[in-house]
């Protein structure tokens, strides 16, 4: 891709984010005043807010296209965001050579010159530090430099000035110092970070000789001052404030606090997690921290689970001794946004995959010698020897991927009887998520970044997708080899990035690209997966192996979304205007597949001491004092299938976050519909055919205290009776059709 095109793409993504993340702002900076226009078209809304834009249809078109990408036509805008748009308009209005501006130029203008101007107005001194200014624009321009963000940037600027070595750091490292993104939902409170976290961190590290000694001291302090056992009362912590308030937690909570304290003294830190690893006689998830020291990303122990010698470092020799060197899907949390991180660092911790693939290729070469395949095998072995000399997980990850690419090329040469130049190798984890959902009553498919990695160089999935398409079309390779790793787990159709499963919708998009461009490319999928006992399998899947599950995926995503929509609307109709109705659950999905409808809460927590906490998958209720009271309830639909030997679970989560915001009226949640999606409920009574009350579970009436362990499954092949009963909606299973 040409450099200018790349800049344009990066710029476009920033501006898309500006208009796409409003609900997050509503939760995180509650002091903003929001405007909520009534139903109207996008063009009319823009002309209402910026009347003069009608004089410049070329700019209006850019705004409309970007503004409509996420379907947010009638959502509220913060005052900062409205000002941001107006400022961009004013900058363009002052240009005397408007005729020279291409669409790409306009996008660049709106996403670089505009935020730069606004930032320098808010923090004039930032002009003296252009490298930090670029970081701040990357991190915070998407939300128009809110009040809390501006405070945080001013604090970050002071950290930057106090620590001269930061001027030598690459952009990626600086981003992990200045980020205020938490782990799941929340963002650092700038005042707390400045007035509480920084003084604690400085006291802990006062006698440290260097950054490594400092972060070791921080990890030891957290282990000595935070009681281990029992994560937060209703899920893991988001931000350091949570952990210091609760004074207890588990590995994830420890990691949140260690990362926050490290950043407070200018040490780049990022949260790392794996969903499944050995833990004595059981398998469990784990989290820890990586810090950037002297050009390397070094893993720091959150607890003693991976630290045998108690030096607060996680070393590969220790992983080997603990038999934890086979971890898959090791993910880094986004520095831009708390959710949807899928930055894969598996090869930074696991070279066993490479060893297994080397053995596989050696086996293929027996009796089938090929000079080019042999050369690729030897290159992979050479890379593996380099891997073992590196202490930086990022270096190891890069080397591991290069080795795997050589091995996959060797497999293609041997299996397809082609040359290495006729093979294109890609890793599925690099692609953006394909999101299939309902907006405005219509089913839509969109390419969705798994996090707000918009303008920086760090794992930008949208830019990768654009480059991938261009390269595939230009080269028209005979074979595309896609590689992915996973555990025996599940794939969720709507939110594939939040689970360990395979993004089947992206596989569909790649097949569609090949068909639409009339390419001759055959798709092969190499899947390396492990069951829950860490028994590894390598599967080489061809088109005929992939097509059946993709066909089911395509059917499921459309029909299941319609079905879930109808179920929720049946419930809503009882709440709104009728007293009783029935809803039929057919015996089979599309008369062929077994399925189940679940009703469950969530296992994700947020704690800002307000009365309602909201997030992508949950609403939970706390008192004025921050005491947990219960969960909301939402519906899911699941169909089980497999790809190769790997079991998959296609799942529609019935609580997509784009559609509703919530507020309290007294002691009851009031839902405000701001989009068109599946709701969450806090007033359902679910009764089985024998009259047993399945929900609520006996805590505070209409609140649901069991989450997620007390899932409710509604059997297929029966009618549900849905009726209003006072302030409740009662759903009764009949047990038959």
DSSP 513-561: HHHHTT--PEEEEEEEEE-TT--EEEEEE-HHHHHHHHHHHHHHHHHHH
Residue 554 above 50 pLDDT?
Answer: yes
Q: Read off the pLDDT band of 212 (50, 70, 90).
A: very high
Express each pLDDT in 592-623 by its tens digit: 888 888 876 543 333 332 323 333 333 444 44
State the pTM of this model. 0.78
Task: Verify that 10 and 39 share a domain, yes or no.
Answer: yes
In-domain check, residue 89: yes
3-state secondary structure of 471: helix
Query: Under a CB-based contact definition with an 8 Å cutoff, are residues 445 and 553 in contact?
Result: no
The pLDDT assigned to 380 comes to 97
Lowest-confidence range among 81-95, 405-419, 450-464?
Answer: 450-464
Tokens of 47: 């002309």
Task: Verify that 653 and 701 share a domain, yes or no.
Answer: yes
The pLDDT assigned to 71 comes to 36
Q: Please give the Cα distance from 693 to 307 (Å, whole number).
A: 47
In-domain check, residue 37: yes
Q: Between 567 and 183, name the one with better pLDDT.
A: 567
For residues 611-648, b (16+ Cβ closer than 10 Å) or e, as one string?
Answer: bbbbbbbbbbbbeeeeebbbbbbbbbbbbebebbebbb
Across 135-158, average pLDDT: 87
Residue 229 above 80 pLDDT?
Answer: no
Q: Between 71 and 630, name the one with better pLDDT.
A: 630
The pLDDT assigned to 437 comes to 61
Residue 199 above 90 pLDDT?
Answer: yes
The pLDDT assigned to 444 comes to 63
In-domain check, residue 345: no
Across 255-264, average pLDDT: 94
> Could you give phi then psi for residue 435, rounded to 5 degrees?
-110, 125
Pairing of strands 479-487, 423-427: parallel
Other CB atoms within 10 Å distance of the CB of residue 384: 18
In-domain check, residue 339: no
The pLDDT assigned to 454 comes to 43
In-domain check, residue 285: yes
Q: Which residues pair with 484 in a beta bridge?
A: 527
Residue 627 above 60 pLDDT?
Answer: no
Task: Verify that 653 and 715 share a domain, yes or no.
Answer: yes
Task: Verify that 190 and 152 share a domain, yes or no.
Answer: no
Lowest-confidence range among 59-73, 531-545, 661-675?
Answer: 661-675
Contacts of residues 159-168 at CB distance under 8 Å and 24 or more positions apart, as own/partner, are 159/198, 159/264, 159/265, 159/266, 160/129, 160/132, 160/266, 162/266, 163/265, 163/266, 166/266, 167/131
The pLDDT assigned to 446 comes to 65
In-domain check, residue 284: yes
Q: Read off the pLDDT band of 670 (50, 70, 90).
A: very low
Pairing of strands 269-279, 282-293: antiparallel
Residue 532 above 60 pLDDT?
Answer: yes
The pLDDT assigned to 676 comes to 39
Task: Verify that 382 and 467 share a domain, yes or no.
Answer: yes
Query: Last residue of a domain, which of 487, 509, 541?
Result: 541
Across 365-393, average pLDDT: 93
The pLDDT assigned to 666 comes to 45
Task: Verify that 479 and 558 share a domain, yes or no.
Answer: no
Across 45-62, average pLDDT: 84
Across 90-118, average pLDDT: 82
The pLDDT assigned to 426 comes to 95
The pLDDT assigned to 679 comes to 64
Residue 732: exposed, middle, or buried by beta-carbon count in 10 A (0-12, 13-18, 19+)? middle
Q: Please give the Cα distance from 235 to 476 (Å, whole number).
A: 48
Q: How many domains does the chain have?
A: 4
Express each pLDDT in 671-687 by its tens digit: 333 333 456 676 778 88
In-domain check, residue 332: no
The pLDDT assigned to 438 comes to 56
Query: Last residue of a domain, which of 112, 136, 162?
Result: 162
Task: Verify that 463 and 442 share a domain, yes or no.
Answer: yes
Query: Under a CB-based contact definition with an 8 Å cutoff, are residues 430 and 464 in contact?
Result: yes
Other CB atoms within 10 Å distance of the CB of residue 127: 11
CATH at residue 229: 3.10.620.30
The pLDDT assigned to 577 comes to 67
Task: Verify that 132 and 213 share a domain, yes or no.
Answer: no
The pLDDT assigned to 564 comes to 82
Query: Under a CB-based contact definition with an 8 Å cutoff, are residues 301 and 307 in contact?
Result: yes
Q: Read off the pLDDT band of 250 (50, 70, 90).
A: confident
In-domain check, residue 208: yes
Across 560-584, average pLDDT: 83
Q: Read off the pLDDT band of 516 (50, 70, 90).
A: very high
**Going edge to edge, which strands form the sheet with 296-300?**
296-300, 282-293, 269-279, 330-332, 343-344
The pLDDT assigned to 625 comes to 47
Query: Last residue of a domain, which of 541, 572, 597?
Result: 541
Percent of the chain at pLDDT > 70 equals 71
The pLDDT assigned to 694 comes to 79
For residues 417-431, b (16+ Cβ closer than 10 Å) or e, as one string?
Answer: ebeeebbbbbbbbbb
The pLDDT assigned to 473 comes to 97
Q: Which of 299, 284, 535 is nearest to 397 (CA)?
A: 299
Percent of the chain at pLDDT > 90 equals 34
The pLDDT assigned to 632 comes to 66
Q: Read off the pLDDT band of 348 (50, 70, 90).
A: very high
3-state secondary structure of 709: coil
Query: Under a CB-based contact definition with an 8 Å cutoff, are residues 704 and 555 in contact?
Result: no
Task: Verify that 534 and 632 share a domain, yes or no.
Answer: no
Task: Verify that 563 and 536 share a domain, yes or no.
Answer: no
Q: Between 517 and 658, name the one with better pLDDT.
A: 517
Residue 260 above 60 pLDDT?
Answer: yes
How would you classify residue 692: left for phi > 0, otherwise alpha for psi between -120 and 50, otherwise beta? beta
Task: Verify that 259 and 292 share a domain, yes or no.
Answer: yes
Task: Verify that 190 and 301 share a domain, yes or no.
Answer: yes
Lowest-confidence range among 29-33, 41-45, 506-510, 547-551?
Answer: 29-33
Residue 10 above 50 pLDDT?
Answer: no
3-state secondary structure of 626: coil
Express each pLDDT in 57-81 by its tens digit: 888 887 766 554 433 333 445 666 6
Q: Read off the pLDDT band of 568 (50, 70, 90).
A: confident
Domain boundaries, position 73: 3-162
Express each pLDDT in 274-299 by its tens digit: 877 765 555 678 899 999 999 999 99
């Amino acid at each position: 891709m040409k450099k200018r095109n790349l800049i344009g793409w990066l710029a476009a993504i920033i501006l898309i984010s500006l208009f796409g993340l409003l609900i997050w702002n509503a939760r995180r900076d509650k002091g903003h005043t929001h405007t909520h226009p009534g139903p109207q078209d996008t063009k009319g809304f823009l002309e209402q807010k910026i009347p003069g834009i009608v004089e410049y249809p070329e700019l209006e078109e850019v705004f409309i296209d970007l503004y409509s990408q996420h379907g947010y036509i009638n959502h509220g805008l913060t005052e900062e965001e409205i000002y941001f748009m107006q400022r961009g308009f004013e900058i363009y209005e002052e240009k005397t050579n408007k005729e020279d501006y291409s669409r790409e130029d306009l996008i660049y203008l709106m996403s670089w010159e505009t935020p730069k101007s606004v930032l320098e107005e808010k923090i004039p001194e930032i002009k003296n530090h252009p490298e930090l200014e670029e970081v701040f624009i990357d991190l915070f321009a998407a939300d128009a430099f809110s009040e809390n963000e501006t405070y945080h940037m001013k604090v970050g600027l002071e950290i930057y000035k106090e620590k001269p070595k930061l001027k030598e750091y690459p952009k990626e490292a600086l981003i992990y110092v200045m980020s205020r993104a938490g782990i799941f939902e929340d963002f650092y409170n700038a005042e707390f970070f400045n007035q509480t976290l920084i003084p604690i961190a400085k006291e802990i590290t006062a006698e440290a000789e260097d950054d490594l000694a400092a972060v070791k001291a921080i990890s030891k302090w957290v282990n000595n001052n935070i009681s281990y056992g029992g994560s937060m009362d209703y899920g893991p912590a988001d931000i350091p404030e949570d952990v210091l308030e609760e004074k207890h937690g588990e590995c994830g909570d420890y990691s949140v606090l260690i990362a926050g304290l490290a950043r407070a003294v200018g040490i780049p830190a990022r949260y790392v997690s794996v969903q499944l690893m050995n833990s004595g006689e059981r398998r469990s998830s784990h989290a820890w921290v990586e810090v950037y020291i002297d050009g390397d990303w070094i893993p720091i122990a959150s607890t003693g689970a991976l630290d045998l010698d108690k030096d607060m470092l996680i070393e590969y020799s220790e992983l080997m001794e603990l038999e934890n060197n086979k971890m898959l899907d090791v993910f880094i949390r986004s520095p831009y946004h708390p959710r949807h991180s899928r930055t894969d660092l598996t090869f930074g911790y696991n070279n066993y995959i490479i060893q297994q693939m080397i053995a596989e290729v050696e086996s293929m070469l027996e009796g089938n010698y090929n000079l080019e395949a042999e050369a690729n095998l030897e290159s992979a072995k050479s890379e593996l020897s380099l891997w073992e000399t590196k202490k930086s997980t990022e270096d190891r990850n890069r080397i591991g991927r290069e080795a795997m690419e050589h091995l996959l090329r060797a497999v293609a040469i041997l299996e397809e009887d082609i040359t290495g130049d006729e093979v294109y190798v890609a890793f599925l984890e690099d692609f953006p998520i394909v999101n299939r959902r309902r907006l405005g009553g219509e089913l839509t498919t969109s390419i969705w970044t798994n996090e707000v990695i918009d303008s920086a160089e760090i794992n930008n999935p949208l830019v990768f997708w654009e480059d991938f398409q261009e390269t595939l079309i230009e080269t028209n390779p005979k074979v595309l080899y896609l590689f992915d790793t996973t555990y025996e787990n599940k794939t969720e159709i709507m939110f594939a990035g939040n689970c360990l499963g395979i993004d089947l919708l992206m596989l569909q998009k790649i097949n569609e690209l090949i068909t639409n461009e009339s390419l001759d490319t055959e798709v092969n999928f190499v899947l390396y997966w492990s069951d829950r006992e860490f028994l590894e399998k390598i599967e080489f899947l061809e088109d005929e192996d992939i097509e059946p599950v993709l066909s089911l995926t395509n059917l499921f995503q459309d029909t299941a979304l319609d079905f879930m929509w109808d179920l929720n609307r049946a419930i809503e109709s009882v709440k709104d205007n009728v007293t009783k109705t029935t809803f039929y659950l057919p015996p089979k999905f599309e008369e062929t597949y077994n399925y189940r409808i679940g009703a469950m809460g969530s296992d994700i927590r947020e704690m800002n001491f307000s009365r309602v906490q909201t997030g992508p998958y949950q609403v939970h209720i706390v008192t004025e004092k921050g005491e947990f009271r219960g969960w909301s309830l939402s519906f899911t639909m699941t169909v089980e299938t497999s790809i190769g030997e790997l079991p998959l679970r296609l799942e529609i989560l019935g609580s997509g976050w784009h559609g509703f915001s919530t507020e309290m009226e007294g002691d009851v949640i009031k839902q405000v519909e701001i989009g068109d999606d599946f709701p969450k409920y806090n007033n359902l009574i679910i009764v089985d055919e024998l009259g047993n009350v399945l929900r609520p579970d006996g805590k505070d009436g209409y609140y649901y205290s069991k989450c997620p362990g007390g899932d409710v499954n509604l059997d297929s092949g029966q009618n549900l009776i849905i009726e209003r009963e006072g302030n409740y909606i009662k759903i009764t299973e009949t047990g038959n059709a």
